[in-house]
């Protein structure tokens, strides 16, 4: 049916479809949609992650509510605010940005005292996004504002320069990838996952050594942990539970059995397993501190996408079992290795997602400074205005610096670049470009 209808379309009909697509959606819609999603949901999600600030010594709590993005403005030397357009930003070498306001509620000893709308910084606005003054303008209005009606938007104006956030190719997160080890390596097979949740990116790696043993490594723990010890520490108490968490396939279970027998000698109970991990992350500490530290590391720093509370430990144990199963299936020839160059194992990170990384870091720093200032002021007076303890320059400077230099958290460089205005096609090409840093930065 589809082939028949497609055959009825003439070449001119097909070109009309192409023109309609460009006219209705444009060629840089991916940038604008991503930034709009960041405005509508991403900012609020980051605020909700933090939740608020507690000064328990003084019985004061500040709860964060709705975050609000204003219209693009610029503050003149006399303190007055004027409406800003992209053309004015270019001509005056300023940043096309809008104010961010956070609604907060102050509680003292559990009772609500007051609500405030606090200015927390300036957010650079993408040209033609939902908050841009050009998004609702007609072609005639665009010309009156000094803009080209054919300009696609999708870029920022920072200190008068047009900057584009280049899309980044990345490995798929929260997905187990299995592969062979190097020929000269002591590791024969690997299973790895990049666990990402609420801005935390924690890799976890399962390795099979040449003697057939399995070990797990993740950043906070300086030593490799035997997989059976880890699964026992996460709540799988009996050998049967551990085997069933790995696989129900007889061949996989048989392959895993020597690992279970050998590594069970290290720790037979959950407490012994936690103590083993605790002695690696907090060597030389008393037993109760070792156990507490081991639980904290497993909850907060291991597979955060599964959960970051004690109730998620069992789910993490089963996730590790899945990693073991895939690795052993690879070893037994029951599955091929995962190809990291396959599109199914890749994701494209757009402007909104990349900006959220910078904003999350800046917002957490602002909250940290706010907590310190609140505590210091509370020793002098009980009733403090939140406006007086907030430093808007933290968010403003960090966002502007990242966009102006292209340097991103995590050591990435060249994420934002000066927009190529050689000609119209060069501009569209730059706005649709995808950079693949995988070969340089990913294992």
Other CB atoms within a 10 A radius of the CB of residue 80 amount to 9
Which residues, other chains included, contact 317 with Cβ-Cβ below 8 Å and sequence gap of 6+? 230, 231, 234, 235, 236, 245
DSSP string, 350-414: -HHHHHHHHHHHHHHHHHHHHHHHHHHHHTT-S---GGGG--THHHHHHHHHHHHH--BTTTB--
**Residues 35, 126 contacting (CB under 8 angstroms):** yes
Sign, Cα dihedral of 158, 393, 168, 437: positive
Q: What is the pLDDT of residues 326-362, one digit of tens each?
A: 999 999 999 999 998 898 899 999 999 999 999 999 9
Q: What is the mean pLDDT of residues 172-187?
A: 91
- Examine the pLDDT at 4 and tell me if it is beyond 60: no
Q: What is residue 108's predicted lDDT score, i.e. its pLDDT?
A: 85
Q: What is the mean pLDDT of residues 210-226?
A: 93
What's the rounded Cα separation, in Å, for the pair 54 and 214? Answer: 43
- pLDDT tier at 60 (50, 70, 90 boundaries)? confident
**Residues 374, 54 contacting (CB under 8 angstroms):** no
In terms of C-beta density within 10 A (0-12 exposed, 13-18 middle, 19 or more buried), how is residue 129 classed? buried
DSSP reduced 3-state for 93: coil
Q: Percentage of residues in the chain with pLDDT exceeding 90?
A: 79
The residues pairing with 167 across neighbouring beta strands, listed in sequence order, are 434
What's the rounded Cα separation, in Å, for the pair 229 and 342? Answer: 34
Q: What is residue 431's predicted lDDT score, i.e. its pLDDT?
A: 97
Of the candidates 329, 323, 330, 338, which has an alpha carbon nearest to the alpha carbon of residue 193?
323
Buried/exposed code over 30-48 (b: 16+ C-beta within 10 A; e: otherwise):
bbbbbbbbbbeebbeebbe
Which H or E run includes 417? strand 416-418
**Residues 192, 215 contacting (CB under 8 angstroms):** no
Choose the most confident range, by mean pLDDT, from 20-24, 118-122, 278-282, 337-341: 118-122
Please calculate the CA angle 173-45-346 and round it to the nearest 5 degrees: 20
**Residues 86, 127 contacting (CB under 8 angstroms):** yes
- pLDDT tier at 384 (50, 70, 90 boundaries)? confident
In terms of C-beta density within 10 A (0-12 exposed, 13-18 middle, 19 or more buried), how is residue 128 classed? buried
Residue 63 per-residue DSSP state: E
Q: What is the mean pLDDT of residues 349-378?
A: 93
In terms of C-beta density within 10 A (0-12 exposed, 13-18 middle, 19 or more buried), how is residue 317 classed? buried
DSSP reduced 3-state for 431: helix
- Examine the pLDDT at 122 and tell me if it is beyond 80: yes
Token readout for 61 is: 């709590």
Token readout for 24 is: 């209705």
Instruction: Count CA within 13 A, CB hemisphere, residue 227.
Output: 34
Q: What is residue 128's predicted lDDT score, i.e. its pLDDT?
A: 96
**Residues 279, 290 contacting (CB under 8 angstroms):** yes
Q: What is the pLDDT of residues 149-162, one digit of tens each?
A: 999 999 999 999 99
Q: What is the pLDDT of residues 319-328, one digit of tens each?
A: 999 999 999 9
Q: What is residue 441's predicted lDDT score, i.e. its pLDDT?
A: 44
Q: What is the pLDDT of residues 227-252, one digit of tens each?
A: 999 999 999 989 999 999 999 999 99
| Domains of the chain from N-terminus onward | 26-170+348-441 (3.90.1100.10), 177-345 (3.90.1110.10)
Q: What is the mean pLDDT of residues 57-81?
A: 91
């Amino acid at each position: 049916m589809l082939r028949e209808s497609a055959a009825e379309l003439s070449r001119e009909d097909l070109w009309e479809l192409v023109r309609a697509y460009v006219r209705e959606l444009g060629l840089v819609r991916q940038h604008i949609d991503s930034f709009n999603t960041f405005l509508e949901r991403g900012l609020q999600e980051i605020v909700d992650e933090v939740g608020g600030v507690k000064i328990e010594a003084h019985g004061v709590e500040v709860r964060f509510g709705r975050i609000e993005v204003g219209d693009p403005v610029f503050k003149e030397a006399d303190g007055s605010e004027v409406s800003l357009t992209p053309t004015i930003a270019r001509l005056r070498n300023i940043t096309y940005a809008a104010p961010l306001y956070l609604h907060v509620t102050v509680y003292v000893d559990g009772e609500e005292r007051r609500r405030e709308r606090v200015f927390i910084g300036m957010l650079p606005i993408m040209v033609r996004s939902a908050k841009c003054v050009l998004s609702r303008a007609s072609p005639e209005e665009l010309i009156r504002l000094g803009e080209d009606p054919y300009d696609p938007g999708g870029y920022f104006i920072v200190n008068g320069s047009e900057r584009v956030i280049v899309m980044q190719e990345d490995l798929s997160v929260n997905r187990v990838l299995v592969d062979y080890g190097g020929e000269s390596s002591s590791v024969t097979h690997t299973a790895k996952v990049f666990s990402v949740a609420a801005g935390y990116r924690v890799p976890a790696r399962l390795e099979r050594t040449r003697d057939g043993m399995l070990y797990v490594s993740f950043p906070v723990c300086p030593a490799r942990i035997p997989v059976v010890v880890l699964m026992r520490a996460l709540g799988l108490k009996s050998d049967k539970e551990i085997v069933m968490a790995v696989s129900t396939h007889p061949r996989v279970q048989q392959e895993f059995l020597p690992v279970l027998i050998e590594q069970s000698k290290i720790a037979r109970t959950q407490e012994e397993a936690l103590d083993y991990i605790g002695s690696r992350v907090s060597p030389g500490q008393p037993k109760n501190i070792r156990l507490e530290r081991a639980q904290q590391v497993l909850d907060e720093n291991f597979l955060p996408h599964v959960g970051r509370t004690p109730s998620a430990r069992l789910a993490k144990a089963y996730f590790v079992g899945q990693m073991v199963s895939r690795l052993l299936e690879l070893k037994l020839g029951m599955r091929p290795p995962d190809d990291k160059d396959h599109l199914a194992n890749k994701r494209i990170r757009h402007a909104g997602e990349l900006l959220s990384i910078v904003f999350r870091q800046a917002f957490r720093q602002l909250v940290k400074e706010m907590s310190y200032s609140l505590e210091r002021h509370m020793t002098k007076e009980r009733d403090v205005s939140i406006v007086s303890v907030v430093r808007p320059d933290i968010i403003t400077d960090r966002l502007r610096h990242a966009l102006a230099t292209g340097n991103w958290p995590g050591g990435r460089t060249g994420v934002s670049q000066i927009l190529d205005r050689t000609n119209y096609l060069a501009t569209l090409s730059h706005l649709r470009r995808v950079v693949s840093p995988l070969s340089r930065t990913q294992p």
